[in-house]
Structures are given as structure tokens and as C-alpha cells.
Amino acid sequence: MTAVQGTAVDVPAGDGTADAYLAHPADGAARPGVLLFMDAFGLRPRLRSMADRLAGEGYTVLVPNLFHRHGRAPLVDLPELIDPGARPELFERITPMMRELTNERAMADAGAWLDWLAGSPVVAPGPVALTGYCMGARLSLLTAGTYPERVAAAAGFHGGRLATDAPDSPHLVAGRVTAELYFGHADQDPSLPREQIDRLERALTAAGVRHRCEVYTGAPHGFTQADTAAYHEEGDERHWSALLGLLRRTFPHGG
């Protein structure tokens, strides 16, 4: 693994300035860019460690605070082990912030994140890759369809509401996606029932998108997050294998 440098950075966004975490190889050389979309629990040590691991593989990784309109992270007092079942008040705080992050706002922000990466001296020129978790998986798909010329690959893990009946459902951008996509779905995830999994698969196939969608048997919603009660070690390691494989295919001469 390559030595890693991690720093807090501020990124200009349409509604002000967003705090973010940047991780990259410590040699300072320009590397392929990766934009990591957080889950609902926000920018915190677990996501920084995930960014560090990707940076150790040779990528420059930006993890923005998607709830920046509400302040700098952390916005919620999180326990050492996050168990929403035992702490329902967490989602009482988080849910309004999620609802206020509309597709329009999120995609305006995504343009800002991509602009910042494009202007960074530690990011190699050209399209970047995306990876997202829970709500971030949805944003990964939307960003791939909104900025196709700027996204070379996109992944999403234990995402919810990816293919609903709503007129702004993420799967409806499939026809604009040019990136290779990978989705690792949680088994028996109430936020992504089988009919949505099938609808997403049909949409991507019909649009001719290079993709793979897999259901991780036995893995609950949130399975990659080691600081939560949903953590599933086998599913997490499978996620790393799939994500790193996607990145190596996308950037065969970098990373």
C-alpha cells in the first residue's frame, strides 16, 4: 500500500462552501480521481478510513459533506457504534436533511465536486470514478447520468430507492450513462425491494450500459460501514474486491 496523505479541504458550492476530506498518495503525484458519496450518517472517521484505503491503492479521493447547507460535519452526535434501532432520534435529525437534498441540489453540488477535482493538482486529467453508499449510491447513479462526459465509472453499495415509480427516480438517467456501473445490493433490503432491483437491471440493459448488479446474500442494508450495527465483514470485503476491480479496469495505467 502507498503512503497516504489526508487533509480537510473546503470546496466552493452553489450555496456556499462545503467541508470535505481529501486523501491521496503522499508523493503528491496526480492520480485518477474518485468521488466518494457518503451515507446518511455523514462525513466521519469511517468514511475517511475508506478514502485512505482507496488512496493507498493509488487514487485521489474526495469525500464531501453532502449536508453542508446545515453546517460542517459532524452534524449529528454519533455513538461509537451506530445502531439506529437503539437510537431512533438519529434519524429524526438526519431525515429532514436527506429530504432537503433534492436531486436538483445534489446534482448542482456534484458539478461543484467534479469541478474541484478537475482543478486539483493531485488529480490526473480526465473523467473520474464515483462510489456511493446507501443514499450515496443513488447520487452516484444520478451523477453518472447527469455528467456522463466527466464520469468514467460509478459504483453503488446498499443503495435504496434506485428504481422507484417517481418521475425523478435515479434509474431514469440510464439512457445518458456512458460509464461502466457496478451495484452491490443488500439482501432483503426494504429500501430496495426485488421489483426495484429488477427495474434497475432492465433499464441499464435496455440502455446498453456496461454494468453488473449483484445481490449480496446475507448482507444487510449498510453492510460496508464498520461503525454501524449493520456491518457485514464478508459483504464489505466483497465490496472492496468489486470496487477495486472496477477502478483497475477503468484506470489500467493509473492507480
What pLDDT, in 10s, does the model give residues 2-24?
Answer: 899 999 999 999 889 999 999 99
Per-residue confidence at 248, pLDDT binned at 50, 70, 90? very high
Confirm if 131 and 157 have CB atoms less than 8 A apart. Answer: yes
Q: Give me the active site residues, please.
A: 134, 189, 221
Domain containing 190 equals 4-250
CA distance 172 to 181: 14
Confirm if 254 and 32 have CB atoms less than 8 A apart. Answer: yes
Is 46 contained in some domain? Answer: yes
According to the model, what pLDDT value does residue 15 have?
Answer: 86
According to the model, what pLDDT value does residue 218 have?
Answer: 96
CA distance 63 to 61: 7
**CA 37 to each of CA 60, 67, 78, 114: distance values in angstroms, whole numbers, following the listed order:** 14, 11, 19, 12
CA distance 66 to 81: 22
Is 100 contained in some domain? Answer: yes
Which residues neighbour 221 within 8 Å (Cβ) at sequence distance 6 or greater? 134, 158, 160, 186, 189, 190, 191, 192, 230
> Is pLDDT of 88 > 90?
no
| CATH number, domain containing residue 233 | 3.40.50.1820
Higher local confidence (pLDDT), 119 or 1: 119
CA distance 91 to 94: 5
- The phi-psi region of residue 126 (left if phi > 0; otherwise alpha if psi is between -120 and 50; otherwise beta) is left
- Average of per-residue pLDDT across 70-80: 95
pLDDT tens for 118-158 read 999 999 999 999 999 999 999 999 999 999 999 999 999 99
Confirm if 201 and 173 have CB atoms less than 8 A apart. Answer: no
- Average of per-residue pLDDT across 217-221: 96
Task: Please list the alpha-helical segments (H only) found in 73-157.
Answer: 89-100, 103-118, 135-146
Is 60 contained in some domain? Answer: yes
According to the model, what pLDDT value does residue 61 have?
Answer: 98
Phi, psi of 192 (to 5 degrees): -145, 75
> Is pLDDT of 254 > 80?
no
CA distance 210 to 179: 7
> Is pLDDT of 85 > 90?
no
| Residue burial 190-220, b: 16+ Cβ < 10 Å; e: rest | ebbeeebbebbbebbeeeebebebebbeebb
> Is pLDDT of 87 > 90?
no
> Is pLDDT of 214 > 80?
yes
> Is pLDDT of 199 > 90?
yes
Per-residue confidence at 117, pLDDT binned at 50, 70, 90? very high
Per-residue confidence at 171, pLDDT binned at 50, 70, 90? very high
According to the model, what pLDDT value does residue 14 have?
Answer: 81
Is 146 contained in some domain? Answer: yes
According to the model, what pLDDT value does residue 9 have?
Answer: 98
Is 129 contained in some domain? Answer: yes
Higher local confidence (pLDDT), 188 or 158: 158
**Cis amide linkage into residue 74, ω under 30° from 0:** yes
Q: How many domains does the chain have?
A: 1
Is 55 contained in some domain? Answer: yes
> Could you identify the residue written with the cell 429524526?
92
Is 255 contained in some domain? Answer: no
> Is pLDDT of 47 > 90?
yes
